[in-house]
Each structure stands twice: as structure tokens, then as C-alpha cells.
Structure 1
Amino acid sequence: MSEERVKQRLDALANQGQQVTFWLRDDDAIEPTPALETLLHLASRYQIPLTLAVIPQNTGAALVERVVQEPALCVSVHGWSHVNHATPPEKKQELGLQRPAAMVLNELKAGFDKLRDLYGAHFLPMLVPPWNRIDARLLPELSALGFSALSVFGREKVPAPMRLLNTHVDVMDWRGTGGGRDADALFAEIADWLAADAEPLNALGLLTHHLVHDAAVWRFLERLFQLTHNHPGCRWMSARAILATA
């Protein structure tokens, strides 16, 4: 079982006096929903710090009122409107140069300012591009907007124009069923990232999308959190804490 492979690797790390860091990013939040409540309760039960990538354009007081009840929760900037401006066969992208760069950057600045003002101490100045894509020509401009970090998907590439804190394991089967991926495949992927001969990551990022989770995703998350909660070979950290210590 792939789950057992993950446990064996964590046990080996613990025996060596080492730990791997996990972090959790959930995308597309706008307002409180039953699905978000399920995620918040699950994360709270297992003391998993959560970073919500919030879409600025349509969020407001309702989500703020819920977020302030979660002291360990971070809010990051998920583009502006999560609208695709690419045309086929291009992959979906909001933060590309299909529009003038100034227009894209102005939207990002508006999103940054709005979420900073709404969420206060919960706000993390990290950009999470919708669909995990941003045109590389925009990256040198992000610091001037106030961003201190960028989070996309896949192994971090260096050198980079700013701090990177990526996600590496996506629970959703976007190209297939549209539901949750097979739990054994997900555990196998995590085990591969943790393999002794793999290039170590600063932090292994798990990517979720609460609005489209099915029962398979919730079952997988419960199993993963049960396995890793208080295991001496790993620790769950907030994005803020990881960026502050790395």
C-alpha cells in the first residue's frame, strides 16, 4: 500500500532525527460555504495550518467574519477575478499578456490592497496565480506591488525573481473524472516526493479546491491528516512560518 510507504519514510526520517515539512493551500475561496466549513473543521481537528487563496474581486465581509475565527489561517491573493483571458489552444490563464501588462498589474495591485485591508493580520503578501500560471515577464514587477512570495505548482525553480513556495500534490483529477484522484495514487506521489534519493523540498505542498471536493477527497484528507498528525517525522506549518524561516 502506498500509504504504508509514506509511513515507512516518515518513520525513517524520525529515526534519523529529521522531519519533512508539509503545508496546505486551498484555492478559489470567495465566501463561506458548507464545503469550506468542512475543510476548516477538518484542518482544525488535526491542527493543520491552512492558506486560503482568495479571489479578490467578489470576496467581502462574509468571508472575513469566518476567517477571523481561525487564528492560524493565512489569506493569499488568487489573481483578481479568476477569469481566463487566453484563447485555445493556449492553456487557461488570467495573468498572461493577452491584455496590456499595465492592466494585469493594476488588477493585481487592486487585489493585493483589497485583501490586505479586509483581512489584516491574516493577510499574507503571496500571489497564487489562477491555474498556477503567470507570464514570466510580469514577475519582476510583483515586488513593487507589495508581493513578497509566489506560489504555483511543481518543483521550485531557482533562481527565481522572488521567494517561491509551491504546491506539489494536487488532490483533483482535473483531466479525468473532475473528482478526487485515487487515494493510493496520491499516497504514492507523496511517497515519491519523500523518497530518500529524491531532491529534498523546503516544504511539500498539498493543493486542494474545497468547492469541488467529492467524498473521495474528504476521505483522502482524513487519512493523510491522521497519518501525519503528531508524527515525529513530519510537521505541518503555515505558509507564513515557512517563508519566515526558510
Structure 2
Amino acid sequence: MTTAAIRSLRGEIARRADIGKPLRLWLRDDDAIEPTAALDRLLALTAKHRVPVLFAVIPALTGEALSRRLADEGHVSVAVHGWSHQNHASSGEKNQELGIHRPSEQVLAELRAGLKILSTLHAGRFVPMLVPPWNRIAPAVVAGLPDLGFAALSVFGPEKPAPLKVLNTHVDIIDWRGTRGGRPVAEVIANLIGVSQSHAGPIGVLTHHLVHDSAAWDSMAMLFETTAEQAGCAWHSAGDLLAQE
């Protein structure tokens, strides 16, 4: 089944090449805080396949250790992942840190602090992008982002109009509603092909290195191996894609 899925992906890549619209892929990894063995593994895997990766870093929980670890990784960029990744929603609601449960002024003040911390810690690799925890954010908070200095927003799913650039992710390799481990490779590839056939813009792949099991690592490796150095697709950095859009 995996072999058939890989053939299908190669066919989709060839189709995109034939119509002159190469597949533009980008990688976002959420919840980075500090150096770990899982972080090292992700850095090694992406470097091997020359895949740029944007880490959504939690400002309140990170520090110099992560900054030092990423300092010599030329294929890495950093964005703001909320403030402390704390849920403020009521019981029975979906988790949200940047929702309507607190005054928007309070939320924006935290995001301003987060932007300042990460732009200082990761100068030279920082992208002024907000990645909301759980991919949820209130419209009033979105409206205030440009005044804070944010240039882009990234959540999950189809892009919607906003007062700043939007660069979303569309394919999640984790089965959050089931095993909470990696989705089967064939399922991830089928998801990617489906998005490619219905979505004209860049396609974001979402990972969470801290919770990856063997299935998640296998999906990443297979996806990178199948898409590397193909005429009909390329992996881009978030910064480059935002400059193009």
C-alpha cells in the first residue's frame, strides 16, 4: 500500500511539472522549547534532505539553550507560538490560548512580549509570524497583530482573509483524534495529493517533534525521500514563501 501511495505522489508531482505549476511545500514544527533528542533528530533529518523548517517556539518557556542549539543550523527559522501555550477556554470547549476568554488587550500584550523575546533570541532567523496554539485565534486578536509588528499568521486549513499575510499548514502527520501517534504513510501521502489537487498556493506540512513515534518519523522520512530533487516540487522556507506571496 505504501508503494502504491508513493507512485501516486510521484504521479501528482509529474502532473504539476507538466502544467508548469510545481508543488511548493513548506514545513512547520510546533511546540519547540529547548534542545532534546527529538529536536536533534528532526534537525538531522531535515538537513539531510535539504528541507527548510520553521519552528513555532513557545516564548514563555524557552531561552538561550534553544537559541544556541539552532545558531549554526542554516535551514532553520523561528516564529512565535502564542505565549505560554496555556488553555484559557472553559470546560467542554476546544483548547484556546488566544480566544475570546480574556480581554484582547491582555492577549496582545503577551504576544508583543513573545515577539520581542524571540526576535532577540533568534535574530537572523526570526520570522515575524504568529502560530496560535491549537491553531485557534479570535478575530479581535488577529486584527491587532499588524500593530504589534507581526507580518504573517499561520494556522491549519484553508487560508481565510486577514489583515496580514496568511501561510497555513494543510497536512498534519499526527493522528490527534486516534492514536495520537503518526498517521500511516499512505494516509499522509493521500492527504497531500488531495490538497495538491484542490489548493493553488503553498502547502504546509505540520509536525510536532516532541510527540513523534516511529510512525511519524517514518512518514517524514518517506515524504522527504519521495519529494527530494523532483522537477515538479520543492521545499521552501516560510520566509521565502511570504516574500513571494
| 1:77–1:127 Cα contact (<8 Å) kept | yes
- Give the superposition deviation at 1:193: 1.3
Structure 1 residue 111: deviation in Å?
Answer: 0.3
Quickly say closer, same or farther: Cα 1:119–1:199, change in 2 above 3 A: closer
* Displacement after TM superposition at 1:58 (Å): 1.4
Q: Name the counterpart of 2:172.
A: 170
Identity value in percent: 48
Following the alignment from structure 2 to structure 1, what is the Cα–Cα distance between the partners of residues 180 and 143? 34
Query: Does 2:79 align with 1:76?
Result: yes
1:182 aligns with 2:181: no
CA shift for structure 1 position 163: 0.4
- What displacement does 1:148 show? 0.3
Tell me, yes or no, if the aligned pair for 1:23 and 1:239 is still in contact at 8 Å: yes
1:2–1:191 CA contact under 8 A, matched in 2: no
Q: Secondary structure at the match of 1:18?
A: coil
Letter in 2 for 1:218: W
Matches within 5 A, 1:126-145: 126-145=129-148
RMSD of equivalent CA atoms: 1.0
Q: Is the 8 A contact 1:133 1:152 kept in 2?
A: yes
1:245 — aligned with what? Answer: 244
Q: Secondary structure at the match of 2:59?
A: coil
Name the SS for the 2:8 alignment partner.
helix
Gap runs ≥5 in structure 1: none
Tell me the number of residue pairs that the alignment of Structure 1 and Structure 2 aligns. Answer: 242
1:81-104 CA distances to partner (integer Å, 9 max, x unpaired)? 000000122110000121122111
User: Paired residue for 1:220?
Assistant: 219
Q: Name the residue aligned to 1:39.
A: 42
SS at match of 1:126: strand
TM-score, structure 1 normalization: 0.96
| Aligned amino acid, residue 41 of structure 1 | A
Unaligned runs of 5+ in 2: none
**Corresponding residue of 1:9:** 12
Does the CA contact (< 8 Å) of 2:100 and 2:138 recur in 1?
yes
Q: Deviations over 1:168-215 (max 9, x none)?
A: 0001111111111111111111111122xx242x20000000000000
Partner residue in 1 for 2:55: 52
How far apart, in 1, do the equivalents of 2:203 and 2:89 lie?
30
Given that 2:47 and 2:75 are in contact with CA atoms closer than 8 Å, whether structure 1 keeps it comes out as no
Scaled by the length of structure 2, what TM-score is found? 0.96
* Displaced runs of 4 or more, over 4 A: none
